[in-house]
A and B are shown apart, each in its own frame.
Chain A
Amino acid sequence: MKIGMYLGYAPYIKPMSLKQEGLGRYLAFLTKGFIEAENKLTIACPNWVVPLLDELFDEEGIDTSNVEILTSTSEPVLFRLYVKWINRSRKPKIRRHRVKRAVISGMDWFVDILLRSKNMATFTLLIMICGVIGVLALPFLLALMLRYGVLRVVRLFLKILHINSGTFSVRNLIRKIPRIEVLIAMIQNRYSGLAIQEKIRQYSTDEIIRKAARMKNSPDVWYSPTAFWGEFNRFPGVRVICAPDLVTTEFAFKFSQGSFIDATRKISETIAEGTYFITYCEYLKSNLLLGKFFKGKEDVVVVPHAQNDLMPFLDLADYFKRVPFKEDVNYYFARNIIMPGIFSSSVNMHRYLIQPDSYQNFSFKDVDYLFYPSQVRGNKNILNLVKAYEHILRERNIPLKLILTCNLNNDKELLNYIEQKRLQYDVLSFNSVTAQQLAALYMCARLVVNPTLYEGGFPFTFGEGMSVKTPSVMSSIPQVTEVMQGYGLEDYLFDPYDYLDMSAKIEKGLKNRDELIAKEQVLYDQLKNRTWKDVCREYVQAFEYFINRSNENEVQVQN
């Protein structure tokens, strides 16, 4: 089959990479899967995305000979110059203090000679020579003063006049002129980076759509891996959109603190205008697409994700066969990764902790903890998890820690709670860890706890945890129960709105950890069998189904 994929990323100003993006990895999996199943792939994208793709495919070792790229001509000159200017390299000034050092060593030398001269005549002579040199050097000194001193004097002068309290710069000086500031603000708002980026993006996508329409051998189906890009609905032929969750509308109160309106509006519009959809779980199909957007049951196909295996990041067992290690070498390695300072690849704790000073020489060697890797998002329910943890620690006297990966500074409510309850020594957060560090954190955890209220599909935390033999207890939400039912795991699912229930299930999980692992292993083995290859095959099947459906519809219309 000939598959077209659309990526409408906006031009980036700061250097960007798809490798770190969640969507990037998903894209790599899809591309790999499509090509391996001998489909032809066309990727339509603005020209600034091309190098990102090259890098991503290179990293993932994807053979690009079967990938055709449909792209726009280069971005406007003005924009290129702007980007260049923003990213101009700023070399740090190295102060060598050459003059200062020369003067000091000269003085040392002179004092030395003065101290050595035991004869009055020599001494007088020296003083006189010194005077002459001083007079001769005066113009140079003045010149030096001009060179180094004047700027300083000017700054001092300005400071005294309160013209500029910060560093001296032309921009700051201009800003002091009345009305200019207002004008700058106005211009900044109208032509801010974002607005300009969006404009340029639009020009390019228009161009791409024109090109796509004129393609001789156009793809059988066009696919958009996200619903962010509304223009996708203007592509010719059969179009399939991947419909994500609409978590912002489900948790509007929480999300109203950020600026999510634009994104939400765009996604809603894209879905509203689209015809065929792929989602990650049954719940989203029935609830979002059928329920909210009133799409036809036949126009939505569910393709769940495959599981991420984290073991390869830590697997040394094979290598250590040669000389037997004293304990489980993978676990030892993982522990060392989360021990600050032992390994150079270890987590740099100081970057992450609320009070880094109190974590000098902290040994993570035997620390037990609950683990929940996630961003700070309105649906993630972290505060309730912290409350459940507090109950476990203080009421149930189970002495473990809670480790998160969100940036606590992004959630003041959460941070305040932690500090107020003096949990800052026990609730730690390591944000933006590498994939390997994440794998290590998973492996060494007693339990993975996922308290989420809403997800776009079955949470990855389950498979990621089990791939390194750490079991999960999770929220009893439809996205979870549709996968987990039938494995006798109901006792380990909790009501995420009730922290006491959460804490009871966590405690149960801790107490019966081995039993939990055994039960979850059965489910995990099932899920694990489904690889990204299978996922891609289902995508292709879904595409075929939609193409047929579209043909049928056309026939019906013609009749």
Chain B
Amino acid sequence: MQTKRILWLYNHSTLIKSEVALLRELGYEVYVPKVIPFDVSVAVNWESDRLLSIPEEAIEVLNKVDFYGEEIPEEAMAVMNEYFGMAIFGTFIEPLKSIAAHYKGIMIFHPFGLEDGASYTETIMLSAGIWLMKKLEEAGRRFWFGQSYENLMEIECDFFKRRMINLPIGMRDTVIEDRWRGNNGKVLFICPRIKINTYYEKIYKDFKTNFNGIPHSIGGAQPIPVEGDKTVLGYLPQKEYDDLYPSHSVMYYHSTNKRHVHYHPFEAVKCGLPLIFMGGGLLDKLGGKDLPGRCESIKEAREKCRRIIKGDKRFANKVRQSQGVLLEKMSYEYCREEWRKAMQFIEENSDTAATEKKSKKIAVIMPQPYLGGVLDYTLRLLKAFAKSRQVSGDDINIVFAVPEIMMPDQYEHIKEVEEYGISIRTFSWEEADQRRIKELTSLLGYPLNLYRQEYMLMNDGISYFQDCDFLLFMADRVAPNLFLTRPYGVVIHDYMRRYVPEDLPQKYESAIMDLVRNSACNFTTTETAAEDCIQYVGAKREKIHFLPLFFDDVSRCEYEEGVKKREYFVWCTNINTHKNHKMALRALTEYYQEGGRLHCYVTGVNTDLFGNRATPEGRQLTQKQCAYIQEIKNIVNSDRLLKKYVHFKGRLPKKNYYSIVRNAKFMIHPGMADNGNGAVVDAAFLGVPSISSDYPAMRNRDEALKLGLMFFDKRDEKQLRDCLLYAEGNAEQMKQQLPTVEELRKHTIDDPDVCRKIYHTIIQYAFM
């Protein structure tokens, strides 16, 4: 018979004794995590490793994994899939995502109950998104909800209800050994971690008010001591600790929680300490409503405790004799029988093969009708992704989604991706009110009350992207309050507005941040962008993954050799303020005043408007942009030299643009900040050196590609002027610093390594 192995992904110190033993008795080899969570009642069981019949290296891999706070790494997941047919786990969201997406064995979700009013369905949806529930449901007969108490299911969604099995939690040993003396005349109340957790702090404070005037001690671990209250015992030497329960007259248990109970009331029962507890909680399910220790009110509890403290032995014994019933369903034997039935049921009814969906689909989405760098980058990425998919042979469909308004004008431009087997789809934003979202989630099977009034959907005219397993946004500018039911990732370019403030309406700013913070993963190319993503947006570091820098090989593009009319350099820009035009123009003025004689060709979307020939009619510009254009125009017109030497070309067809760059002496890039400028790389491909303002992303790019850039301070026009004067005389020398085209090609999609990296990075983190 095949060895049955199971991952038991907890470190709970009481359960580790009962459940691990129980699973072993049922014939399983059990793995227990070694990286503990931030909790004080945990234990590590190293012994379990010895009993595992798998290679030590595999165990080593698992032992390094934090099964509580982090996604499970690929390597560990491979071990889990290879050696373990089952996993039992709780509600730790990050590992849960990995398990749902990548684990191929039988999944047993085994939670211990929440506060009243909270359900697991809602907790999962609010912390991860609906997609995680869908993912679990898609696992079909591989997923089971093993409830610890029989009433957990009452408040869960239908899907959980249908997968319900009973996996009661209990204690290793429930034999009552009466050690009670009860001679110290005090109530024992257990409340650990008062100064760590406000949940316990509140319980502590409530108890202090409710039991004011009754002698008591408060037990439980206190990693941070509670000053000024001598009733809080804190750390006790072993001997005193052992005597804690027997010496006290009575224990009071406060919780009226319907779906969660602590262990200490059972410990009390076990050693014969009379238990006075509040009715209405989970204990009622175990002992009914007639136990003499049960109370309806605080007043009643106080009275009962007082009676026992004062020495009412008859009452104490009545409580003691009746409370044994509470342990019945906690007993090892009872639990073992229930588990045996449950595990047998799971083994007979699970199906690990049938639900594996073979073909996957990824949607690459351009959220706005970008025409410049973002579009170029997206097309490149699509091609690289498609190429590598071909090589890997994975069955993954790729959809390229663009805003409807981009079609049909831009179709010519983007249709080239169709050759790579990528299908193009358009979409538009669609408003949906709260009611519709509620209906939508109900229809999906996980009704959710959302608090916002308005939401946005992405209508692709087909299925609202329901057919796609993963969505990849190629920029973060989406409509506010986007409602998605699929896991998604975002490609981050830069956070320029953090450095160059820009008037972005509050609603959009929030939308952008929300999108990135709540995504399953984010991708970027530079440390700078990643750091901003963490510091500014508040995304988690573990969720930011790096894609390699890669470019188009423009050296192969068509261009006209053209006869040089005059000598010039190129300034590739656009009309955004962060492109630092004013400073650059000041520098140019000084350059020409100092005798500089190279002409300056300005290219880029709408830059022709800076000159006198073009008019803004027919272009979509905001008032602010128009004002800015006018301002720049005035600067240029008021200076004779600028008027003479600076030529505004605007956006050019690729061919013309490359021709202009190729014939230039050099290129300048005086921008303030971004995630790295692509034009200087194009220039390098064409054998043209560049001068750039000094900021981290450009430094980064210079190092990665060895571009030999000449840097200047983005605020110091004198430095730029000097650079220009130097470059005019030394352009040839600068050219020699440039890398060869072969070297540059290592950073293009012609390089299979680059493509593979891109493909693998996205697939690895996509939760598909």
Contacts and interface: CB of A to CB of B under 8 A. Distances in A.
Interface of A: 58-61, 312-316, 318-320, 323, 325-326, 329, 332-333, 336, 343-345, 355, 357-368, 393-395, 397, 399-401, 421-422, 425-426, 436
A456 to B, nearest CB: 27
Interface in B122-175: none
B702 interface: no
Which of A314, A361, A399 has the most CB atoms of chain B within a 10 A radius of its CB?
Answer: A399
B238 interface: no
Given A323-B36, A357-B510, A393 B196 contact: no
Contacts of B733: none
A395 B541 CA distance: 24
Nearest to A326: B35
Contact of B538 (A313, A357, A361): A361
Contacts of A365: 540-541
Given A332-B38, A360-B514, A365-B541, 12 more contacts: A59-B228, A313-B195, A319-B40, A319-B223, A343-B197, A344-B199, A358-B509, A361-B514, A362-B517, A366-B541, A397-B695, A426-B498
B499 A359 contact: no
B535 A363 contact: no
Contacts of B43: 323
Given A355-B506, A355-B510, A399 B536 contact: yes
Nearest to A341: B127
Which of B66, B498, B695, B696 has the most CB atoms of chain A within a 10 A radius of its CB?
Answer: B498
Contacts of B539: 363
B532 A436 contact: no
Given A365-B541, A399-B536, A436-B195, A422 B501 contact: yes
A425 B498 contact: yes
B57 interface: no
Interface in B15-36: 35-36
* Interface of A, helix, strand, loop or mixed by DSSP: loop
Q: Shortest 3 CB-CB distances between A and B: which pairs?
A: A362-B538, A422-B501, A319-B223
A61 B228 contact: yes
A359 B537 CA distance: 9
5 contacts: A333-B196, A343-B198, A358-B514, A399-B535, A426-B498
Given A323-B43, A325-B36, A360-B514, A315 B540 contact: no
A363 B44 contact: no
Contacts of B223: 316, 318-320
B534 A367 contact: yes
Contacts of A318: 223
A107 B201 CA distance: 48
B513 A358 contact: yes
B292 to A, nearest CB: 32
Given A358-B510, A361-B538, A394-B499, A333 B38 contact: yes
Contact of B673 (A313, A323, A345, A397): A397
Contacts of A326: 35-36, 66
A160 to B, nearest CB: 32
Contacts of B36: 323, 325-326
B78 interface: no
Contact of B227 (A61, A315, A323, A343): A61
B768 interface: no
B538 A397 contact: no
B44 A329 contact: no
Given A344-B197, A345-B198, A363-B540, A399 B228 contact: no
A367 B531 CA distance: 9
A313 B196 CA distance: 9
Nearest to A60: B228
Contact of B221 (A319, A343, A401): A319
A425 B506 CA distance: 11
A332 B227 CA distance: 23
A358 B513 CA distance: 7
B38 A401 contact: no
A344 B199 CA distance: 6
A425 B509 contact: yes
Contacts of B644: none
Contacts of B228: 58-61
B224 A316 contact: yes
B549 interface: no
B257 interface: no
Nearest to A360: B514
B196 A361 contact: no
B397 interface: no
Nearest to B506: A355
Nearest to B13: A323
A363 to B, nearest CB: 5
B517 A397 contact: no
B538 to A, nearest CB: 4
A25 B509 CA distance: 43
A329 B39 CA distance: 11
A366 B540 contact: yes
A357 B481 CA distance: 11
Nearest to A332: B38
B42 interface: yes
Nearest to B40: A319
A401 B43 CA distance: 38
B499 A363 contact: no
A263 B307 CA distance: 56
B497 interface: yes
Contact of B517 (A61, A361, A422): A361
Given A323-B44, A333-B38, A367-B535, A313 B517 contact: no
A343 to B, nearest CB: 7
Contact of B497 (A325, A400, A422): A422
B518 interface: yes
A326 B66 CA distance: 9
A438 B280 CA distance: 38
A526 B509 CA distance: 48
A197 to B, nearest CB: 29
A468 to B, nearest CB: 14
Contacts of B518: 360-361
Nearest to A359: B538
Contacts of B673: 397
Contacts of B195: 313, 436
Which of B501, B517, B535, B541 has the most CB atoms of chain A within a 10 A radius of its CB?
Answer: B535
A519 B541 CA distance: 31
A399 B532 contact: yes
A61 B230 CA distance: 9
Which of B43, B197, B198, B532 has the most CB atoms of chain A within a 10 A radius of its CB?
Answer: B198
A59 B227 CA distance: 7
Contacts of A394: 498-500
Contact of B499 (A315, A367, A397, A401): A397
Given A397-B499, A425-B498, A363 B198 contact: no
B198 to A, nearest CB: 4
Interface string B103-123: 000000000000000000000
Contacts of A319: 40, 221, 223
Nearest to B201: A345
Contacts of B197: 343-345
Interface string B43-71: 11000000000000000000000100000
B499 A393 contact: yes
A225 B58 CA distance: 67
Contacts of B227: 59-61
A510 to B, nearest CB: 13
